[in-house]
């Protein structure tokens, strides 16, 4: 029963967990009991996954290159003094994926990458030092020396942790995040009509094929031709896009990654943020103590990275 309760809590609120247990198992538990069971079990899950040799063996035997993916989502937190604030739950994943076929920049949307062969995810609201230690513990647990590449959005904390934990590696800015910034600039320049769509499609190809150098060239041409009352606003939008991409210039190596059959997106960790951890912790009206939010995140991560069955095997 403890396993069923904990699985329910990983997907839905205590109320829905209570309703599900009553409907499917004819078991009635209070919210308080459900919460206590989840808290205790989350710690047990973390210990079992950390000590289970099958987790390490599966990761080492899996085919493909090792990727390190990072992201974050903000959670409403109730502090000990009664104040409330939004704090970032940082999500991490080590994954292995085989390379796909070489693709051109025109094929980036239609190409099919091999699925991730194995993944190990974890998340917590922690300080920078604590996050780094969690990552070090995970890499030791999985037997990871170095990683082939690291993928994430433009947040500075992501790349700081990558370098602290893995040193110099092949860093890649998630292409969809980069494209979102291009889109935001384009809407200021052209609105949302056909002119914007045409410009955006062309600029995505420029970004894919030439990286920052190509985008900067196009932005300079745009600036030289700006006219009208909205000139200042457009200059601000152009400057914002240039600053964002310039700060990630070394991570815009999309063309070479596509040619090598490698990923240019951090979809695996994005999915964890939006569809499981974020969806579970950011429900309407939810406000968490940090300790409980971190324990729920343990359950969510085990479910998302398909480590659930191993989380119930005792170490040998």
In a domain, 238, yes or no: yes
The answer to whether residues 222 and 293 belong to one domain is no
Average pLDDT over residues 288-300: 93
Q: Which residues of 68-100 are buried (b: 16+ CB within 10 A; e: fewer)?
A: bbbbbbebbbbeeeeeeeebebbbbbbbbbeee
In a domain, 132, yes or no: yes
What is the predicted pLDDT for the residue at 1? 87
Confirm whether 198 is domain-assigned.
Answer: yes
Q: For position 316, what pLDDT does the model report?
A: 43
CA torsion 119→262→203→69, rounded to 10°? Answer: 30
CB count within 10 Å of CB 54 equals 14
Last residue of a domain, one of 251, 281, 298: 251
What CA–CA distance (Å, rounded) separates 160 from 163? Answer: 5
Domain count, the chain: 2
- Residue 295: band (very low, low, confident or very high) from pLDDT cuts 50, 70, 90: very high
Q: Tell me, yes or no, whether 72 and 162 share the same domain.
A: yes
- Per-residue model confidence as pLDDT tens digits over 116-175: 999 999 999 999 999 999 999 999 999 998 899 999 998 999 999 999 999 999 999 999
Q: Domain check: are 84 and 220 in the same one? A: no
Same domain, 300 and 163: yes
Q: Is 0.85 topped by the overall pTM?
A: yes
Does 275 lie in the same domain as 205? no
- Find tokens 């040998």 and name the residue: 316
Q: In which domain, by residue range, is 204 found?
A: 177-251
Residues 76, 153, single domain; the answer is: yes
pLDDT of residue 314: 66
Q: Tell me what pLDDT residue 286 has.
A: 87
**What's residue 227's pLDDT?**
83
Same domain, 225 and 81: no
pLDDT given at position 12: 87
241 lies in some domain: yes
Query: Does 109 or 277 have the greater pLDDT score?
Result: 109
Quick one: CA torsion of 294, 158, 301, 310, rounded to 10 degrees?
-110
Which of 253, 265, 250, 254 minimizes the C-alpha distance to 97? 265
Task: Write down the number of H helices and E strands in the chain.
Answer: 13, 5
| Same-domain status, 142 and 85 | yes
Asked whether residue 5 is assigned to any structural domain, the reply reads no
pLDDT in tens, 57-67: 999 999 999 99
pLDDT band at 113 (very low <50, low <70, confident <90, very high): very high
Please check whether residues 157 and 188 belong to one and the same domain: no
Do both 75 and 92 map to the same domain?
yes
Sheet containing 84-97: give its strands across. 118-124, 84-97, 65-78, 149-152, 170-173
Q: Which pLDDT score is estimated for 256? A: 97
Per-residue tokens: 292: 């409980």
Q: What is the mean pLDDT of the chain?
A: 92
């Amino acid at each position: 029963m403890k396993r069923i309760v904990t699985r329910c809590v990983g997907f839905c609120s205590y109320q829905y967990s209570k309703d599900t247990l009553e409907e499917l198992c004819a078991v009635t538990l209070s919210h308080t009991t459900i919460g206590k069971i989840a808290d205790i079990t989350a710690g047990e899950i973390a210990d079992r996954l950390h000590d289970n040799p099958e987790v390490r063996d599966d990761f080492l035997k899996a085919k493909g290159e090792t990727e390190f993916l990072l992201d974050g989502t903000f959670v409403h937190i109730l502090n000990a003094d009664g104040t409330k604030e939004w704090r970032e739950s940082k999500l991490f994943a080590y994954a292995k994926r085989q390379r796909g076929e070489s693709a051109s920049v025109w094929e980036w949307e239609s190409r099919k990458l091999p699925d991730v062969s194995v993944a190990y995810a974890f998340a917590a609201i922690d300080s920078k030092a604590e996050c780094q230690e969690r990552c070090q513990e995970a890499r030791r647990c999985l037997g990871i020396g170095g990683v082939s590449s690291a993928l994430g959005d433009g947040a500075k904390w992501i790349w700081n942790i990558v370098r602290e934990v893995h040193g110099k590696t092949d860093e890649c800015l998630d292409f969809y995040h980069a494209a979102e910034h291009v889109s935001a600039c384009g809407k200021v320049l052209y609105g949302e009509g056909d002119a914007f769509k045409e410009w955006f499609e062309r600029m995505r190809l420029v970004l894919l094929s030439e990286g920052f150098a190509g985008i900067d060239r196009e932005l300079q041409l745009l600036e030289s031709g700006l006219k009208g009352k909205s000139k200042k606003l457009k200059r601000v939008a152009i400057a914002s896009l240039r600053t964002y991409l310039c700060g990630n210039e070394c991570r815009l190596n999309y063309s070479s990654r596509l040619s090598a059959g490698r990923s240019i997106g951090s979809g695996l960790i994005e999915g964890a943020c939006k569809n499981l951890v974020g969806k579970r912790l950011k429900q309407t009206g939810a406000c968490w103590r940090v300790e409980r939010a971190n324990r729920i995140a343990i359950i969510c991560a085990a479910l998302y990275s398909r480590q659930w069955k191993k989380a119930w095997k005792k170490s040998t």
